[in-house]
């Protein structure tokens, strides 16, 4: 065999690849530094959609050429959650150093579940930092996952497998003595129902408890339902409390949920995907204190820690139950006392995945860049911004607050005398679409008590108070331009 | 409110951040370009482990300072799967452009499940390209996930929910008329058992069928087991065929599995995490033809498409069944005909996650850079390299092949006259550890028919034939230095 016969995917010219990397860095820096002046969103032209709908390439083309296509067809039509006026879904902005951490992580390219290498220690340290952020005990366990959905389903799998003497992991749910049941509110994120369906409990397992006028779970209704299920021979096993609903940022009554879960011997899981980190804002610290006592907690780092996509975290109070839910060691993964197969316990023993990237690095670099104190200030700033927006709404006779402000979400709409609910829905929907289409700002919408509302959800490290002034001004301007609907 | 009160996580000096980005690109280019000359792996010193075991930072430090710490404590102790002599677990090398694509994806930072933005169209195009790579029908559906484990569990969830009239998604497994059962071989990847446990079937659902001397599932034993389960009133629902076992690269008899699944009305799932892409090598195309008829297929792009971590793919023949297993649309995700909430069907309707990064971009750029033909050549090259290594083993009287070579895996060991199995295990284990500790090469080990073996698994775009010559030479050198064990 001669050298000539060895093919590779590495570039034939490293210096050209280096230059291309520099250009990409330059373009990203320019993009971030000037994004405040740019439109938040642009409709995608038909020719762009057509370009992104062609068959697989048979032959290669140059990296420079591909990058030009990226600049022309992909980069300009970005979602916008990097922009200071993105308020739609609860999606963070990311940071420049967080992105550069992703560059380094991808360049090192370790599969970070097994083996003795530095990424495993960074991952462990970051999980420990997550426990410290949440004031979870140091002997708790945790795992980094793609985000809230995976964090919740991971926790609920542990909760299900830890239930009683049913041995569900081994025997399956068919052999359980009755249907397992979990409790959440009607405002709980849809991923909880999805998780129950995926792990085999079915929609049948999910009891959606009503909420009060602040959209928080009604405790009496919860207890009544648990007793009803018990008296029917069903098996209540878990209460899910939400720390920050996606609709309004409502916080379920954590102290009460903790008490009830203890009273009935149920697993207490907190979905804090969006709002567990509000704990760092003194205004919310008291109401969220009880999540430190939860059996499990799910929260996202790409939301309110402003880390680039994707990364969430599951914490489990009882590390043994966590490991017992997932650990498997096949022959090809035997651990050694030395060499590449030495080191820490496989992360595969704590979750679904044996393949995962080095997502810990961006959290590691971000927490070192800013420190816990700065994050606490940023989170508090988003909360104050939501309150400021509510003040602006309350001050204007044509605007109406649609829910109490909780955390960093403000729901409001524009009023018009004599219009019915359906007209108001179409009116505010049109305002929303024009805000987006004109590239001004991206709130989203939802339905509260049957009423359509604009929804401003903010986990944005780039938002300034002036952005909220502008938002209100533009809502009023667009609303004023709409005469009939 | 004044401007001064607006905090941000953006850098105060963009030009310094730009310079730092350039340095990172430079260091990665130098790393990749010279990696052949470097040690593949280094033991992690105690002071590095101590540095990576400190509490969460309260205050921030400069990005430059953090990067220096990265260079000192993290970068040098990388796993090594970027190196030309990484042959341990089936983990790809990545490519420079693939890594730069991750930089761009992280910098754009879209959550790629919902909304009208370019990443959604890139994702759809890449899923279509995946179908084309696998010769799946264009009306099939698919989803990009973190890797093989998630790809398999996603497919098995669809298989479970699609079974008969049981309405498992709604009613749960407790209400099923009997225990569901799936079939795989004893050589199947552990993630299949884990998937069965997670989705509530339990270990009880998994029938591990025996294998022949080429480690391929025994068809007669499979059919006997199905009939036995049926006669006991159990509910067979799925056969899992493996296209490339992790131990030896063995391929289950796909034509037979397809026939049997049709005969008994079972879902036919193929775990091709490692080896579905061997289809592109003419030597394997015929034996893998039947996977085009599978109900579902899981395969990884960060393995044999050499894309950086993390990305795998699930394809489902019946797109309706796929969507019916996962679709949920809450109020806060209502789709619009215009604006940011317009566009394609939410990817959340096809899988577990509502949070996910823009992992499609690295596949998009990689397939455009090299084209399908080059990948076919690269995959064939890895297969020929495994065969070449087997030749070297067969030519040497002190070496012994431990399994037939299939795809790109070669299992062998060094012999020593008069030593029993336990001595040979310790002898070859010591050879393996020294190979790693001296930084020469990283094979791994496994147990085949009770015998310890070195295992060379190669999905490496940087490996040359000369690396295999060196590996054999060094195994013999190290083995020769070990006199007693």
Q: Which has the closest alpha carbon to B406: B457, B467, B471, B445?
A: B457
Q: How far is A454 from chain B (nearest CA, A)?
A: 10
Most B CBs within 10 A among A81, A118, A380, hence the mutation to make, goes to A118
Strand partners, B251: B243
Given the structure tokens 């890797």, which residue do they identify? Answer: B147
Q: Indicate the residue of B57, B357, B367 with minimum beta-carbon distance to A56.
A: B367
A 246-265 residues with CB below 8 A of B?
Answer: 246-247
H-helix or E-strand spanning residue B400: strand B399-401
Task: Check if B383 contacts A (Cβ < 8 Å).
Answer: no
Q: What is the pLDDT of residue B430?
A: 97
Q: Which domain holds residue A59?
A: 3-38+42-78
Looking at beta carbons, which residues of chain A come within 8 Å of B25? 18, 21-22, 24-25, 103
Q: Is B3 on the interface with A (CB under 8 A)?
A: yes
Within 10 Å of residue B450's Cβ, how many Cβ atoms? Answer: 7
Residues in chain B with CB shorter than 8 Å from the CB of A98 are 106
Residue B172 forms contact with A (CB below 8 Å): yes
A288 CB-near residues (< 8 Å, 6+ apart)? A243, A251, A254, A272, A275, A276, A278, A279
**pLDDT at residue B2, rounded to an integer:** 44
Query: Does B34 map to a domain?
Result: no
pLDDT band at A2 (very low <50, low <70, confident <90, very high): very low
Residue B384 domain flag: no
Residues A348 and A383 occupy one common structural domain:
no
Tell me the angle at which helices B360-395 and B118-134 cross, rounded to the nearest 10 degrees: 30
Q: Searching chain B, which residue's CA lies closest to the CA of residue A175?
A: B174
Nearest CA in chain A to B49: A121
Angle CA B233–B238–B243, to nearest 5: 145
Q: Give the Cα separation of A205 and A199 in Å (integer).
A: 11
Chain B contact present for A178, CB below 8 A = yes
Whether residues A442 and B368 touch (CB distance < 8 A) is answered with no
Contacts of A124 in chain B (CB under 8 A): 52-53
How far lies B38's CA from each of A432, B30, B337, in Å?
Answer: 56, 11, 55
The beta strands (E) that lie in A36-131 are given as 86-87
CB contact under 8 A, A29 and B18: yes
Between positions 259 and 298 of A, the ones with CB within 8 A of B are: none
Q: List, in sequence order, every beta strand (DSSP E) within B210-283.
A: 235-242, 267-271
B115: contact with A, CB 8 A cutoff: yes
In a domain? residue B411: no
Distance from CA of B103 to the nearest CA of A (A): 5
Assess whether A196 and A220 both reside in one domain: yes
CA distance A307 to A93: 7
Q: Look at A60 and B121 and tell me if their CB atoms are within 8 Å.
A: no
Give the pLDDT band (50/70/90) at residue A4: low
Same domain, A431 and A343: no
Q: Are the Cβ atoms of A433 and B336 closer than 8 angstroms? A: yes
The reply to whether residue A107 touches residue B98, judged by beta carbons under 8 angstroms, is no
Nearest chain B CA: its distance from A288 CA (Å): 20
350-369 in chain B: CB under 8 A from chain A: 352-358, 361-362, 365, 367-369
Tokens of B393: 């083993």
pLDDT of residue A329: 80
Q: Are residues A209 and A175 in the same domain?
A: yes
- Closest by CA to B125, choosing from B375, B355, B361, is B361
> Which residues in chain B are closer than 8 Å to A455, comparing Cβ atoms?
332
State whether A127 and A269 are in the same domain.
Answer: yes
Is B374's Cβ below 8 Å from some Cβ in A? yes
> How close is the nearest chain B Cα to the Cα of A79, in Å?
5
Q: Is residue B329 part of a domain?
A: yes
B58-68 residue pLDDT tens: 999 999 999 99
Instruction: Say which DSSP state B72 is in.
Output: I
Chain A hits for B191, CB-CB cut-off 8 Å, are 354
Q: Chain A, 404-443: which have a CB under 8 Å from a chain B CB?
A: 429, 432-433, 436-437, 442
Q: What residues in A contact B343, CB-CB < 8 Å? A: 44
Look up the CATH number of the domain holding residue A246.
3.40.640.10
Residue A366 lies in a domain: no
Q: What are A355-377's pLDDT values in tens digits? A: 999 999 999 999 999 999 999 99
pLDDT at position B329 is 80
Name the domain boundary from A357, A388, A420.
A357
A470 touches chain B (CB under 8 A): no
Mean pLDDT of chain A: 97
Number of domains chain B contains: 1
Under 8 Å CB pairs connecting chains A and B tally to 593
Where does residue A437 rank: exposed (0-12), middle (13-18), buried (19+ CB within 10 A)?
middle
Nearest CA in chain A to B111: A309
Query: Is residue B333 scored above 90 in pLDDT?
Result: no
- Six token digits for residue A81: 């959650």
Q: Reduce the DSSP state of residue A197 to 3 states and report it.
A: helix
Tell me: pLDDT of A25 over 80. Answer: yes
| Beta bridge pairs of residue A412 | A401, A454
The answer to whether A305 and A375 have CB atoms below 8 angstroms apart is yes
Name the residue in chain B with its Cα closest to that of A194. B326
- In tens, the pLDDT along B228-244 reads 999 999 999 999 999 99
Whether chain B has a CB inside 8 Å of the CB on A5: the answer is yes
| pLDDT value at B3 more than 80 | no
Interface test with A, best of B32, B50, B109 (most A CBs within 10 A): B109
Q: Cβ B102–A104 below 8 Å, yes or no?
A: no
Whether the Cβ atoms of residue B292 and residue B276 lie closer than 8 Å to each other: no
- Per CB-CB distance under 8 Å, the chain B contacts of A52 are 118, 121-122, 124-125
**Residue B327 is assigned to a structural domain of this protein:** yes
Q: Which long-range contacts (CB under 8 A, 24 or more apart) does A17-23 make?
A: A17/A63, A17/B29, A17/B96, A17/B97, A18/B25, A18/B26, A18/B29, A20/A63, A20/A64, A20/A67, A20/B97, A20/B100, A21/B25, A21/B28, A21/B29, A21/B96, A21/B100, A21/B103, A22/B22, A22/B25, A23/A67
Considering only the beta carbons, identify the residue of B5, B8, B174 that sits closest to A174.
B174
Give ipTM to 2 decimals. 0.97
Check pLDDT > 80 for residue B378. yes
B328 touching A (Cβ < 8 Å): yes
What CATH number has the domain bearing residue A469? 3.90.1150.170
How many secondary structure helices (H) and strands (E) does chain A include?
15, 12
Asked if residue B156 belongs to a domain, the reply is yes
CB contact under 8 A, A79 and B197: no
Q: Do residue A120 and residue A11 come from a single domain? A: no
List the beta bridge partners of residue A239: A183, A268
- Tell me, yes or no, whether A258 and A185 share the same domain: yes
Does B285 map to a domain?
yes
pLDDT higher than threshold 90 for residue A334: no
Give buried/exposed letters for B459-483 (b at 16+ CB in 10 A, else e).
Answer: bbbbbbbebbeebbebbeebbeeee
Q: List CB contacts (< 8 A) between A78 and chain B.
A: 108, 110, 117-119
Instruction: For an interface test with B, give the residue of A107, A277, A356 to mutate (most B CBs within 10 A).
Output: A107
Smallest Cβ–Cβ distance between A353 and the set B150, B246, B336 belongs to B150
pLDDT the model gives residue B320: 98
Shortest CA distance from B306: residue in chain A: A9
Same-domain status, A31 and A145: no
Residues B196-212: tens digit of each pLDDT: 999 999 999 999 999 99
Q: A342 and A377: one domain?
A: no
Residue that is last in its domain, among A300, A332, A357:
A357
Q: Is the pLDDT of residue A3 over 80?
A: no
Kindly determine whether residue A93 and residue B79, on different chains, have CB atoms separated by under 8 Å. no
């Amino acid at each position: 065999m001669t050298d000539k016969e060895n093919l590779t995917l590495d570039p034939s010219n490293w210096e050209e690849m280096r230059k291309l990397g520099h250009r990409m860095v330059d373009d990203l820096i320019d993009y971030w530094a000037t994004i405040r002046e740019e439109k938040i969103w642009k409709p995608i032209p038909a020719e762009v959609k057509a370009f992104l709908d062609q068959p697989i390439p048979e032959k290669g083309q140059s990296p420079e050429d591909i990058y030009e296509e990226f600049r022309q067809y992909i980069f300009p039509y970005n979602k916008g959650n990097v922009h200071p006026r993105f308020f739609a879904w609860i999606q963070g902005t990311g940071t420049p150093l967080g992105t550069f951490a992703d560059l380094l992580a991808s360049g090192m390219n370790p599969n970070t579940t097994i083996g003795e290498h530095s990424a495993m220690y960074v991952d462990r340290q970051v999980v420990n930092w997550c426990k410290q952020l949440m004031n979870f005990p140091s002997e708790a366990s945790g795992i980094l996952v793609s985000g809230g959905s995976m964090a919740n389903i991971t926790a609920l799998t542990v909760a299900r497998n830890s239930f009683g003497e049913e041995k569900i992991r081994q025997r399956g749910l068919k052999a359980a003595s009755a249907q397992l049941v979990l409790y959440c509110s009607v405002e709980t994120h849809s991923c909880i129902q999805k998780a129950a369906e995926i792990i085999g409990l079915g929609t049948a397992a999910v009891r959606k408890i009503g909420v009060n006028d602040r959209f928080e779970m009604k405790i009496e209704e919860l207890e009544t339902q648990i007793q009803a299920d018990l008296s029917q021979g069903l098996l209540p096993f878990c209460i899910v409390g939400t720390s920050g609903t996606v609709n309004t940022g409502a916080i379920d009554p954590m102290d009460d949920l903790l008490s009830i879960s203890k009273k009935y011997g149920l697993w207490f899981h907190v979905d804090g995907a969006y709002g567990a980190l509000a704990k760092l804002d003194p205004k919310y610290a008291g109401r969220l204190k009880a999540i430190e006592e939860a059996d499990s907690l799910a929260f996202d780092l790409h939301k309110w820690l402003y880390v680039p996509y994707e990364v969430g975290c599951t914490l489990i109070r009882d590390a043994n139950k966590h490991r017992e839910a997932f650990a498997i060691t096949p022959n090809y993964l035997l651990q050694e006392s030395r060499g590449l197969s030495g080191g820490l316990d496989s992360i595969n023993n704590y979750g679904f995945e044996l393949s995962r990237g080095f997502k810990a690095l961006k959290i590691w670099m971000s927490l070192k860049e800013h420190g816990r104190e700065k994050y606490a200030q940023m989170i508090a700033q988003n909360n104050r911004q939501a309150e400021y927006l509510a003040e602006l709404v309350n001050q204007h006779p044509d605007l109406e607050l649609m829910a109490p402000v909780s955390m960093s979400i403000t729901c409001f709409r524009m009023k018009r005398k004599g219009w019915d609910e359906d007209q108001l829905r179409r009116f505010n929907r049109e305002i929303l679409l024009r805000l987006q289409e004109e590239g001004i700002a991206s709130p989203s919408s939802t339905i509260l008590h049957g009423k359509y509302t604009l929804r401003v959800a903010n986990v944005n490290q780039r938002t300034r108070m002036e952005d909220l002034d502008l938002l209100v001004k533009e809502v009023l301007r667009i609303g004023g331009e709409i005469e009939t609907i």
